[in-house]
Chains A and B, each alone.
Chain A
C-alpha cells in the first residue's frame, strides 16, 4: 500500500471522528510507524494497515488530551484563486475524451431540484443505469480534481 493511500485513509477516519487536525495526526502516525518499522518488521503478523490504525488510535487519544484549539472558519473570497481554478478546469476539461467531457457537462448541467429525474434521463441517453452514470461521472470528477490540483501546483511555481 502506498504512503498516499494510507495517509488518505487515516485522514478520512480522523476527520470522521471530528478531528480538526486530521492531516497533522495522520502524518504523526506515519512518522511513528516509520520509526518503529525496523523493530516490528519481522515480528508483526497480520495486515500491516491494521498496525497503522492502532498507532493512529494512540496518536488520536493523545491529541484529545491536549487543549482544544478553535478552528478558524474557511474564507472563500479569494477571487484570484477562484480564477486560477477556473483556468485549470478549462485546461483539464480539454484533456478529457469527447465522451467523458460530454458526460461531465451533462452531469453537472443540472437543476438542483431535478437531480434524480435529470440523471435518469442522462443515463438513458448514454445507455447506462443511473448508478453507473454516477460512478463514471465521479471517476471523471476525480480525474479532474487531480488534474486541477496539479495544474494549480504548476502555476504556483
Chain B
C-alpha cells in the first residue's frame, strides 16, 4: 500500500476474504487462468469474477502461484505450453514471472541445507514439545530466577564473591625475572622475623588464620617463620604484611615460591588506618608445604616499585 509516497508493507492478512467464492475450487481457478474452462463454465466464472472481490483475490493469488510454479519448473509440459500461450499474455503477468524467477534465484540455492537443518530442529522440537507456549514461558521464568538469584548472591554474600574472584586471580606463569631476583640477595644478614600466628578473631569471618609478616632483606632457609595452616578448599589465610608508614598504597602483593614462581596476587590493597599493615588474603589450598615469598609493590609514576619482601615456610 502507498503511504506518504513510500511503500509500506504490513502483515495485514485480512485483506482478502473469500466471500462466496468457495464454489470455485483452486483447480478451477487454475484452469481459468490457463484458458481451460469449458464453454459452460467460462461465462459463469467471468460473471462471478467481475462482481466478487473474494474470487478476484483468489484469482490474483493463484496467478502468483502459477507464475512461481512456472519459474520453479513445476508445471507439466502441457501446462507449461498453456501457460506461455494463455497466461503470459499481459505485461503484468510477465512481470510476475520475472519476480518469481528472481525469487527462485535468490532462495532456491539454499534449499537443501536449509531443509535439512530445519528437519533436525523440528524433530527435536516435536520430541520435547518445545513449540508449546508453556515451555517458552517456563524457560523465561527460569532465566529470570537465575538472574535474580545471582544478583541476591552478589549483594548478600560478598564473601563468596571474593572467594570466586580470588580463584580467578591466581596465575601459574613464571615471570622471567623472578628467579633472578630471588636468587640474588643484596644483603646476607639474617632477616628479622617477628611472627605471631594467631587464631582468627571472632568478628573476622573471612580468614581462617592470620599471620603477621615482617619485611626481610633476603631469604634465609634457616631463619624462616614456620606456620601450620588450615587445610580446606574454602579456607582463607590472612597474611598481614607490615609496611613502613612512608609507603602508602595502593599496594600489589604477589605470592611466589622462593624460586620465583608466581602463585597468587592481589591488587589495590590498602593498609588499614589504625595500623601499618596490608592484609593479603590467600586461599589456604594454594599454600602447600614449602618456602614462600611475598613481593609487595606499589605503583610509582606508572612503574611498579617493590617496597618489601616477606618470607615464610608452610609446614
Give chain A's interface residues, CB within 8 Å of chain B: 5-6, 8-13, 15-20, 22-23, 47, 49-50, 52-53, 71, 74, 76, 81-82, 85-86, 89, 92, 95-97, 99-100, 104-106, 108-112, 114-115, 118, 121-122, 124-125, 127, 134-136, 138-139, 141-151
Give chain B's interface residues, CB within 8 Å of chain A: 2, 7-9, 11, 13, 15-16, 32-33, 35, 37, 42, 46-47, 49-51, 53, 56, 59-61, 63-65, 68, 72-74, 85-96, 98-99, 101-108, 110-112, 114-115, 118-119, 122, 126, 131
User: What's the minimum C-beta distance from B59 to chain A, rounded to whole angstroms?
Assistant: 6
Name the residue on A nearest B16 (C-beta).
A139
Residues on A with C-beta less than 8 A from B110 are 105, 109
Please, how many angstroms separate the alpha-carbon atoms of A121 and B96 in the complex? 26
Chain A contact residues, majority secondary structure: helix
Residues on A with C-beta less than 8 A from B112 are 111
Name the residue on B nearest A110 (C-beta).
B111
Residues on A with C-beta less than 8 A from B9 are 92, 95-97, 100, 143-144, 147
State whether B65 touches A108 (Cβ < 8 A). no
Chain B contact residues, majority secondary structure: helix
Please, how many angstroms separate the alpha-carbon atoms of A141 and B106 in the complex? 14
User: What's the minimum C-beta distance from B236 to chain A, rounded to whole angstroms?
Assistant: 51
Name the residue on A nearest B112 (C-beta).
A111
User: What's the minimum C-beta distance from A153 to chain B, rounded to whole angstroms?
Assistant: 10
Q: Sample 16 A-B pairs with CB under 8 A, ordered by A number.
A: A10-B50, A12-B49, A15-B89, A16-B42, A22-B89, A50-B50, A50-B51, A74-B94, A76-B98, A82-B102, A89-B102, A135-B61, A142-B64, A146-B7, A147-B7, A149-B95
Please, how many angstroms separate the alpha-carbon atoms of A92 and B46 in the complex? 33
Q: Which of the residues B73, B74, B90, B108 comes within 8 Å of A11, measured between beta carbons?
A: B90
Contacts known (A18-B85, A145-B99); A121 close to B115, Cβ less than 8 A: yes
Please, how many angstroms separate the alpha-carbon atoms of A89 and B105 in the complex? 11
Please, how many angstroms separate the alpha-carbon atoms of A89 and B10 in the complex? 16
Please, how many angstroms separate the alpha-carbon atoms of A144 and B98 in the complex? 12
Contacts known (A110-B108, A138-B65); A20 close to B89, Cβ less than 8 A: yes
